[in-house]
Amino acid sequence: MNPYEAYMKEISQPMRDELTNAGFSELTTPEEVDEFITSAKGTSLVVINSVCGCAAGLARPSARESLNNEKKPEHLVTVFAGQDREATARMRDYLEGYEPSSPSMALLKDGQILHFIPREEIEDHEVEEIVDNLTTAYNQYC
């Protein structure tokens, strides 16, 4: 690992921990993504994490807060854009029809997309709006 990669790994660890401490499992390889998508039954929230400010101030807090809803996804996973590049690229393969954006969130059922929130619906929005977007989808699909 070169010094830049080491630095980015160190700087991004708290950003990873913010989701894993809330119950999300990290998928760090394409193989882990494939295994998850093909085996996870029921509803899943996928968060494409990133180091940008809207991930820190909006996406991660919204994802965590949305889990206080009575209905919520059965599985919680995350990939980290810019860090786990191959895993993120593989997850994006499964999000066919949606432009790659980070951060972003997808609600899946048995690997099929039910609801997608791109960066455009995260950046410049309030946490409460994003939580409402997520919980509305949970109430409909979970």
Active site residues per annotation? 52, 54
- 112: tokens are 């099929």
**pLDDT-based confidence at 2, cuts 50/70/90?**
confident
pTM of the model as a whole? 0.95
Q: Average the pLDDT over 105-128 and give the result.
A: 96
Question: Distance between CA atoms of 85 and 112, rounded to whole angstroms?
Answer: 22
Question: What domains does the chain contain, in order, with CATH numbers?
Answer: 18-141 (3.40.30.10)
Which one has a higher pLDDT value, 122 or 6?
Answer: 122
Residue 53 DSSP SS3: helix
> Peptide bond before 103: cis, by omega within 30 degrees of 0?
yes
Q: Average the pLDDT over 17-30 and give the result.
A: 97
Helix-helix angle 30-39:85-94, to 10 degrees: 30
Which one has a higher pLDDT value, 9 or 94?
Answer: 94
- Model pLDDT for residues 53-90, shown as the tens digit of each residue: 888 899 999 999 999 999 999 999 999 998 999 999 99
